Structure 1
Amino acid sequence: MKHTAAMSLPWKETESFTAQMEKFCSKVRADVEKRIGKKTVFNNLNFRATDTEIQYIAKVHVGGNDCVHVKISQDLPCYGEEVKLIDFQFPKKRDDEIEPF
């Protein structure tokens, strides 16, 4: 399901993973696995970011051809920089494009 608020954000193009995104994904892994089941693989493949907020959608490989798209936010430094899982889409495949949701 696509939310209209997500569609109105100015999303950047898909980028290759970074060490920072790997760190963010590891912080939300437990929350994601509570919902989709424990995975032996959890590797960030690529991501999209917004221009106006600290918000990301990451494609995470969870084994075989399966992926999960996770929407992550990070609080501003003055609010502690906490990383939170906002939403996710599962199941996804490796060749599925990252679309804002």
Structure 2
Amino acid sequence: MADIKPGGWSHTKYAGKETQWICDQVKSLVQVKTNKIYQEYRAVLSMDQLVKGTNYLFKVRVGDRNYIHVQVYQALPCNGGWLQLSGVQEDKTQDDALEPISN
């Protein structure tokens, strides 16, 4: 995470194991919010924003050509490191750019 500037979003990068782990932790919340059950739920891209904790924005593949964008906040480890689903955008494509979700 050395490429993250406080307050600014990192560049878009390919998702890794840590990214998928965070996505998996909020999957049930995403399914409740979208009122859908996802058989496929694979993080493919991510961005990070360092604040008093970290905001994450993920592009998640949820079907053949179907994607959603998922935004998650993670508290600092000294504050428990808990995760909170901040937003979900549906009906995205592989080519849609990741853009922060405004609440």
TM over 0.5: yes
Q: Report matched runs for 1:69-84 at 5 Å.
A: 69-84=69-84
Q: Which residue of 1 aligns with 2:63?
A: 63
Q: Which residue of 1 aligns with 2:40?
A: 41
Gapped regions of structure 1 (runs ≥ 5): 1-8
TM-score by length of 2: 0.84
Cα distance in structure 2, aligned partners of 1:98 and 1:17: 13
**SS in structure 2 of the partner of residue 54 of structure 1:** strand
Count matched residues: 93
Cα distance in structure 1, aligned partners of 2:33 and 2:56: 19
Q: Give the share of equivalent positions with the same residue, in percent.
A: 26
Cα distance in structure 1, aligned partners of 2:78 and 2:50: 19
Paired amino acid for 1:49:
D
Q: CA RMSD in A?
A: 1.2
Q: Which residue of 2 aligns with 1:12?
A: 10
Larger RCO (CA under 8 A, 6+ residues apart): 1
TM-score by length of 1: 0.86
Cα distance in structure 2, aligned partners of 1:96 and 1:61: 12
When you count helix as a share of all residues, which structure comes out higher?
A: 1
How big is the shift at 1:51? 3.6
